[in-house]
């Protein structure tokens, strides 16, 4: 039997030792707390050299143009992000692999190329990109939170890493995930707990929680996450970031380590997380332009499409206020209201979105996630000699009961696939029917929806997974963009005392609303488009943001 604590201690030691000594700050979390900070990003701004602070607050797009114009060196940018990531990790515990030396060497090489050729190698020249632990890089682990997989170094590179590097990206860290990546809280026996960059009492979210924390703290400007039930969108939302959950087959997942790799009814997808919407588009456009359909058989040959036609007319948007199964907290509803008002003010048309099969979609998604009764999780945890964490039991209730962990048979699985197709058909039908509700008689362009029913949560506080507003998007294979709208404000967001919950989880959600707890936490919304409409979701998100800022013409 493996002693999982030894493996874990060794791994954590390795990660910390890979931080250069001059950047190691023992007791940094205590320093931060004694300085009165809960927000890691704010705290880091106070202790970093001003030039590094300045560099690490720029967007990836801004960095890319300054590097392209010769105003910034890749090395300087890389150095600043390595330093900030090193500090962020020591506070938030968000990295699984740290390799600054390789990154700085690569940045130097890119600078040399630029000096000789007077041009950049691609649209991401010199941009530091953080990678969720799943993405394979040679000679590094892709342990995805499992003790059993620690120390099993990859021998190859994920296609997306190849493509990003070809376009000039610089890798410097890989980031934490919950064991098996089926949880909305990032915690594992291997790496421990990853904290929220905005509030140290909160979870960073999951499963791309390491990305959420690192980008939220400014230790990364652009990161790669994955999403099977909300794993890009939840941490983006909990840290007030932008995230793109594409449809399956648009951004290459080839040779990325995964749980349940052959589960194709509701496959995990890969996408960017960032602090600016433009950065999501820069990422997606660059990847799609590489025509990876000639390499990854699951990529569909659709080039990046122009969406300028959308700017020439008013938008038509469906609003999902509440799924009637889990009522969002008041700050979430306020974020939707503010978006609604801003869109209305600018003349866009809004209809109600109430999909009659919402509960069926949610139930089916949970059946799909739990189809093997936790068989794979159990095997790998046993192999590593580690106990199964509670959060995994939310996805696999049968893990609570040793005897009942039974995989379903293939005929039952095929029935789930049939049901999925039925629900996707109904979804498109409902979407088409919105044409009856708009003044133009045309269907809606997108749905505006909550991401999470509340503005994040404290460590271990929620004994279930409120994925009501995220996982249906996965089952339906829609495109979704998460964008920050507001923050919780104790002076305006009051508890709704007279609401009568419709079920037990809904009651728990209501109970969890304690105003002081959430103050200043970010609130994000989702802009959801149909399958394979990444360009459209991004363009509409941009219009929504402009409305919110009042700059839309």
CB of 204 to a second copy, least distance (A): 29
CB of 242 to a second copy, least distance (A): 24
Q: Is 295 in the site for a second copy (CB under 8 A)?
A: yes
For a second copy, give the closer residue by CB, 414 or 464.
Answer: 414
| Sheet strands side by side (includes 349-352) | 95-98, 170-175, 128-132, 222-227, 269-274, 242-245, 479-487, 522-529, 446-450, 316-319, 349-352
Q: Of the listed pieces 131-139, 409-417, 462-470, 481-489, which binds a second copy according to CB under 8 A?
A: 409-417
CB of 146 to a second copy, least distance (A): 17
Q: Is 291 in the site for a second copy (CB under 8 A)?
A: no
For a second copy, give the closer residue by CB, 25 or 302.
Answer: 302
Helices 60-68 + 74-92 axis angle, to 10: 160
Among 338, 349, 376, 458, binds a second copy (CB under 8 A): 376
Query: Does residue 207 carry a catalytic annotation?
Result: yes
479: left (phi over 0), alpha (psi -120 to 50) or beta: beta
Per the listing, tokens 């979390």 go with 29
β-strand partners of 202: 458
For a second copy, give the closer residue by CB, 249 or 271.
Answer: 249
Instruction: Extract the tokens encoding 106.
Output: 């690569």
Q: Is 353 in the site for a second copy (CB under 8 A)?
A: no
Q: How far apart are CA 455 and CA 487, in angstroms?
A: 8
Candidate list 132, 174, 378, 419, residue with the active-site label:
132
CB of 415 to a second copy, least distance (A): 6
Instruction: Extract the tokens encoding 427.
Output: 């979804």
CB of 143 to a second copy, least distance (A): 19
What is the enclosing helix (H) or strand (E) of 389?
Answer: none
β-strand partners of 318: 351, 447
CB of 391 to a second copy, least distance (A): 22
Whether the CB-CB separation of 389 and 188 falls below 8 Å is answered with yes
Within 8 A by CB and 6+ apart from 246, the residues are 269, 270, 271, 284, 479, 534
Q: Is 254 in the site for a second copy (CB under 8 A)?
A: yes
CB of 421 to a second copy, least distance (A): 7
Q: Which of residues 221-250 bind a second copy (CB under 8 A)?
A: 249
Q: Of the listed pieces 12-20, 44-52, 256-264, 333-341, which binds a second copy according to CB under 8 A?
A: 256-264
Q: Of the listed pieces 3-11, 274-282, 368-376, 518-526, which binds a second copy according to CB under 8 A?
A: 368-376
Among 31, 62, 296, 349, binds a second copy (CB under 8 A): 296
Query: Does residue 541 carry a catalytic annotation?
Result: no
Q: Is 382 in the site for a second copy (CB under 8 A)?
A: no
Longest dimension (CA), the chain: 69
CB of 294 to a second copy, least distance (A): 6
Whether the CB-CB separation of 361 and 473 falls below 8 Å is answered with no
- Show the site string, 419-448: x = touches a second copy by CB under 8 A, - = not: x-x--xx-xxx-xx----------------
Whether the CB-CB separation of 169 and 124 falls below 8 Å is answered with yes
Which residues fall in the annotated binding site for substrate? 181, 207, 228-231
Helices 410-433 + 358-369 axis angle, to 10: 150
Q: Is 265 in the site for a second copy (CB under 8 A)?
A: yes
Q: Is 383 in the site for a second copy (CB under 8 A)?
A: no
Among 262, 387, 441, 550, binds a second copy (CB under 8 A): 262
Q: Is 149 in the site for a second copy (CB under 8 A)?
A: no
Q: Is 264 in the site for a second copy (CB under 8 A)?
A: yes
Which residues fall in the annotated binding site? 181, 207, 228-231
Q: How far apart are CA 288 and CA 306, in angstroms?
A: 13
Closest CA to 233 of 215, 206, 256: 206
CB of 190 to a second copy, least distance (A): 23
Whether the CB-CB separation of 177 and 209 falls below 8 Å is answered with yes
Among 407, 437, 487, 515, binds a second copy (CB under 8 A): 407
For a second copy, give the closer residue by CB, 38 or 408.
Answer: 408
Asked if residue 54 has a cis previous peptide bond (ω within 30° of 0), the answer is: no
Among 115, 418, 496, 514, binds a second copy (CB under 8 A): 418
Q: How far is CA 48 from CA 64, 91, 273, in A?
A: 22, 14, 23
Candidate list 73, 208, 231, 276, residue with the active-site label:
231
Strands 187-188 and 170-175: unpaired
Q: Which of residues 69-128 bind a second copy (CB under 8 A)?
A: none
Q: Is 417 in the site for a second copy (CB under 8 A)?
A: yes
Q: Is 413 in the site for a second copy (CB under 8 A)?
A: yes
Q: How far apart are CA 348 and CA 359, in angstroms?
A: 29
DSSP string, 261-285: TT--SS--EEEEEESSHHHHHHHHH
Candidate list 8, 41, 130, 207, residue with the active-site label:
207
β-strand partners of 446: 317
Among 57, 298, 405, 508, binds a second copy (CB under 8 A): 298
Helices 534-549 + 330-345 axis angle, to 10: 90
- Show the site string, 466-505: x = touches a second copy by CB under 8 A, - = not: ----------xx----------------------------
Query: CB count, 10 Å around CB of 21?
Result: 6
Give the footprint of a second copy on this chain (CB under 8 A): 249, 254, 260-265, 293-298, 300-302, 371-372, 375-376, 407-419, 421, 424-425, 427-429, 431-432, 476-477, 530-533
Q: Which residues are catalytic?
A: 132, 207, 231
């Amino acid at each position: 039997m493996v002693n999982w604590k030894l493996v874990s201690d060794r791994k954590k030691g390795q990660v910390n030792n890979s931080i250069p000594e001059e950047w190691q700050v023992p007791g940094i979390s205590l320093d931060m707390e004694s300085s009165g900070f809960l927000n890691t990003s704010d705290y880091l701004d106070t202790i970093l050299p001003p030039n590094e602070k300045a560099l690490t607050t720029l967007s990836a797009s801004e960095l890319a143009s300054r590097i392209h114009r010769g105003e910034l060196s890749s090395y300087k940018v890389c150095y600043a992000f390595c330093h900030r990531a090193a500090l962020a990790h020591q506070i938030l515990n968000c990295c699984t692999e740290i390799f600054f030396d390789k990154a700085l060497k690569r940045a130097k090489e890119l600078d040399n190329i630029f000096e000789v050729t007077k041009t950049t190698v691609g649209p991401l020249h010199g941009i530091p990109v953080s990678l969720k632990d799943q993405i394979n890089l040679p000679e590094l682990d892709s342990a995805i939170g499992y003790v059993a997989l620690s120390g099993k170094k990859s021998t190859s590179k994920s296609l997306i890493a190849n493509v990003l590097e070809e376009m000039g990206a610089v890798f410097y860290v890989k980031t934490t995930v919950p064991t098996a990546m089926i949880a909305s809280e990032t915690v594992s026996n291997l790496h421990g707990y990853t904290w929220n960059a905005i509030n140290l009492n909160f979870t960073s979210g999951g499963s791309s929680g390491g990305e959420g924390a690192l980008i939220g703290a400014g230790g990364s400007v652009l990161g790669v996450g994955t999403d099977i039930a909300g794993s890009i969108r939840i941490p983006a939302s909990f840290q007030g970031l932008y995230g793109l959950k594409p449809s399956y087959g648009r951004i290459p997942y080839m040779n990325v380590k995964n749980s349940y790799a052959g589960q194709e009814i509701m496959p995990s997808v890969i996408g960017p997380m960032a602090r600016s919407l433009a950065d999501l588009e820069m990422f997606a456009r660059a990847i799609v332009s590489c025509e990876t359909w000639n390499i990854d058989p699951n990529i569909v040959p659709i080039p990046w499409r122009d969406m300028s036609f959308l700017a020439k007319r008013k938008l038509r948007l469906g609003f999902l206020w509440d799924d009637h199964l889990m009522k969002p907290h008041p700050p979430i509803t306020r974020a939707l209201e503010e978006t609604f008002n801003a869109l209305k003010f600018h003349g866009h048309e809004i209809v109600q979105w109430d999909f009659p099969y919402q509960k069926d979609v949610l139930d089916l998604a949970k059946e799909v996630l739990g189809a093997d009764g936790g068989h794979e999780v159990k095997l790998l945890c046993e192999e590593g000699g580690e106990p199964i964490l509670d959060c995994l039991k939310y996805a696999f209730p049968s893990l609570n009961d040793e005897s009942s962990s039974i995989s379903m048979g293939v005929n039952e699985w095929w029935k789930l696939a049939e049901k999925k197709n039925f629900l996707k058909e109904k979804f498109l039908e409902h979407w088409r029917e919105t044409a009856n509700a708009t003044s133009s008689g045309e269907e809606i362009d997108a749905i505006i929806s909550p991401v999470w029913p509340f503005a994040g949560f404290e460590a271990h506080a929620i004994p279930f997974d409120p994925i009501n507003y995220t996982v249906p998007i996965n089952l339906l294979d829609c495109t979704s963009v998460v964008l920050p709208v507001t923050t919780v404000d104790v002076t305006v967001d009051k508890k709704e005392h007279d609401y009568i919950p419709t079920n037990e989880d809904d009651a728990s959600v209501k109970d969890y609303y304690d105003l002081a707890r959430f103050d200043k936490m970010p609130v994000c919304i989702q802009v959801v488009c149909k399958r394979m409409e990444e360009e459209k979701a991004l363009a509409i998100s941009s219009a929504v943001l402009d409305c919110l800022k009042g700059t839309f013409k």
